[in-house]
Structure 1
């Protein structure tokens, strides 16, 4: 599933291409991708609207339409691409937004776990308020981490992936961030010292920033808004490297299951 760096990469691409464009038409090919509306109702809310901005909130792409917002969650295999009208190389197309000046915004999804929906200003405010802290924001501080973690005995890796606490950090970057922090992913969140929490904050922020710089991590499905793969997979230190030597200490990278998800770590480097 695309995590914060992948979604941020797509948003930055779209933010250069979409603001000022008008949605001239909407075609929904997979109605099950539309949340909380019929295809006709969804299309009616978008048709004729101008896209004012494109931002990211958590793992979601958010387009401001001037009063309402269009949100896109990519699920596990979703892709959001800008193409020229008439280029028909699309596969697994779920929805198509015709834009002015000969462009289309296309949503593709092989497994169809993604979703598209609209929110009014009031609904957006309520929805946004239920989400956790953005890890690249100024709110993600050691003081905040200390207060939030002090109330939880959940393993720190699982804790970081709770979107009601910290948004956008999924399986890949939780494992990588904790490796950089030198913190065992099995440690209960409330056992971390202030120094360890500072390393967790810095490790998570550093790995997210570097992944954005390299346009995300592609294993199978992720593509940016230009249809290209991310390049960060080659820089992963522990994720998906079970049994391989640690780049830092030469020990063996191990794998365990936490909350139904694979966690990768180096027992020698992480305590």
Structure 2
């Protein structure tokens, strides 16, 4: 599933082509996504100008003033900028035609994504319970330590809770915990403030590096330009169960936490 860095990469990829451009047409080939596409979506957005492209959690928001086109990439979705002459391929479900002749093309083999007309901003039911953005100033050690003090769940489970902090998916949780030398099984309320400070720094660093690298290339994800992410080449633990730790040589352990596969180093992470 595309995570925060992949979604941010998509936002940055399409932004130069669509900001200040008018939506001239929307072609919906397949309306049966995670939620049915509004039959009036094309009428509601036709003639609207895209003023900016934003991200909230894993949702992309193409702002048009009083409303926004809210896009979620689901499990396998991706956006491309293509010329109007490019024929649609299999699983190309939606085209957003722009006044500059470009098309924002949505491809989604599994159809778990969504296209929603949002007039409620961050008060929308899909957005209003989301936690803080991890790359914002609101996500700091004071905030995370206070939350941890009230929770007995594993620290990995906590930082993957989107009601607490958005976008720290399985890959980035594992990498951040390795970088901060914290065992993913450790109870959140048993971690010292100093170690929480290290974890906040690690989360911000790992996500920033992943965005810089274009996101991790999961089998279903490529960027808006069609280029895969390269952060997977920097994985220290994710997907490396049974291999040697790059830091100490100890065999990396693979376990399951909250139904998610988790790899860590029993020597480096305490």
TM-superposed deviation, 1:181: 0.6
- DSSP-derived class of the 1:208 partner: helix
Separation in structure 2 between the aligned mates of residue 47 and residue 129 of structure 1, nearest angstrom: 27
Residue aligning to 1:245: 244
Aligned to 1:60: 59
Residue 23 of structure 1 corresponds to 23
1:51 paired residue number: 50
Deviation at 1:60, TM superposition (A): 1.2
1: CA distance, partners of 2:174 / 2:32: 32
1:262 to partner: Cα distance: 0.7
CA contact (8 A) 2:34 2:111 kept: no
Native 8 Å contact 2:62 2:68 kept in 1: yes
What's the CA shift string for 1:33-64, capped at 9, x where partnerless? Answer: 273653x2122221111100001111111110
Paired with 2:122 and 2:157, the residues of 1 have a C-alpha distance of 27
Unaligned runs of 5+ in 2: none
Q: Specify the alignment match of 1:96 in structure 2.
A: 95
Question: For 1:123 and 1:64, how far apart are their aligned partners in 2?
Answer: 9
After TM superposition, list the pairs within 5 Å mapping 1:146-161 onto structure 2. Answer: 146-161=145-160
Structure 1 stretches of 4+ with a deviation exceeding 6 A read: none
Count of residues paired in the alignment: 269
Query: Is the 2:29–2:94 Cα contact (8 Å) retained in structure 1?
Result: yes
Alignment of 1:74-85 (within 5 A): 74-85=73-84
* 2:219 aligned counterpart, secondary structure: coil
Residues in 2 aligned to 1:267 and 1:172: alpha-carbon distance in whole angstroms: 18
Gaps of 5+ in 1: none
Give the structure 2 partner of residue 263 of structure 1.
262
Q: Is the 8 A contact 2:2 2:218 kept in 1?
A: no
For structure 1, which segment, 127-136 or 67-76, has the greater mean C-alpha deviation from structure 2 after superposition?
Answer: 127-136
Residue 14 (structure 2) aligns with: 14
Q: Give the Cα–Cα distance (whole angstroms) in 2 for the partners of residues 89 and 123 of structure 1.
A: 31
Q: Residue 98 of structure 1: CA displacement?
A: 1.2
Q: CA deviation at 1:267?
A: 0.8
Could you tell me how far apart the structure 2 residues matched to 1:150 and 1:62 are?
34
Counterpart of 2:253 in structure 1 is 254
Secondary structure in 2 aligned to 1:32?
A: coil
Which secondary structure state, in structure 1, belongs to the residue aligned with residue 175 of structure 2?
helix
For 2:162 and 2:213, the matched residues in 1 are separated by 24
2:111: which partner in 1? 112
CA distance in 2, matches of 1:46, 1:204: 37
TM-score w.r.t. the length of structure 1 is: 0.95
Residues 154-174 of structure 1: per-residue CA shift (max 9 Å, x gap): 111011111100001100000
Return the alpha-carbon distance in structure 2 between the equivalents of residues 151 and 118 of structure 1. 37
The 2-side partners of 1:91 and 1:151 are apart by: 48
* Pairwise CA distance, 1:20: 0.8
Match of 1:124 in 2: 122
